[in-house]
Amino acid sequence: MAASPWNNEGASGTTLAVSTIVWMFVTHIIAYGIAGYVTGRLRTKWTNVHNDEIYFRDTAHGFLVWALSVVVGLIILSSTAASIVSGGAKAGATMAGAGAGAVTAIAGQAADSESGGISLDYFTDSLLRPNDPALANRGGDSREEVARILTRSVVDGEMSEQDQSYLVSVVANQAGLSEEEARERLTQVSEQAKQAAADAEQKAREIADAARKAAATFALWAFASLLLGAFVASFSATIGGRARDR
């Protein structure tokens, strides 16, 4: 197997990348070498034509074989290329919203597609929030509501005074802390949540940047392999032409 689901098992990403490039070059050399040779060997032999003209025509036929194969390959892979472009666009959109996505993942929220991708849970909580924080837990665990408030604060970059006062009261009631201790704990947890979201966003940006560099490098090597294929096909056609004229 080329890759393994287990850590430190199988080939590394660098090994796979180098192997892919080497494989691409080798297959181009072999395929275009054979195609160019057969093209030159099977081409109609001309008489009373200067050797330079024969050499030029053999070279041109080899180059045309390479060009035709590239066009056919692009047509065959058009659907795959469309999928790759679509996937790249989705990945770019995902990376652009990495910060908000990381915060959402931390809080465990999912966007509602029927409401245009906007979650109204926070506003619903605000509408139904009791004046007495001691009554907030009457209907069960208030973790989800607290998570939504923390999510909102991380997304906005700060927590409103109203939300802060409410959370301090809820934490103090449920954790059995004084109001000062609850406020200190809330400040500490809020900073940790913001740092976790920032780290997740930074990591997502680093992954996106690494993917961009890898794609650019692969495109460069792919272009080089195509140029090599054109040269091999043209040169092999001249060899086939010399074998034909013996």
pTM, to two decimals? 0.55
The CA distance from 124 to 120, in Å, is 6
Task: Identify which of 77, 43, 75, 47 has the alpha carbon closest to the alpha carbon of residue 60.
Answer: 43
Per-residue pLDDT of the chain (246 residues; tens, 9 = 90+): 455 555 566 666 678 778 888 998 999 999 999 999 999 888 877 777 788 888 888 899 999 999 998 888 888 877 776 776 666 555 555 544 544 454 444 444 444 433 344 454 555 455 445 556 565 555 556 777 787 888 888 788 788 888 888 888 887 877 777 888 888 888 888 888 888 888 888 999 998 898 888 888 888 998 999 999 999 999 999 999 888 887
End-to-end CA distance of the chain: 48
- 187 in Cβ contact with 181 (< 8 Å): no
- 237 in Cβ contact with 58 (< 8 Å): yes
- At 245, phi and psi to the nearest 5? -90, 5
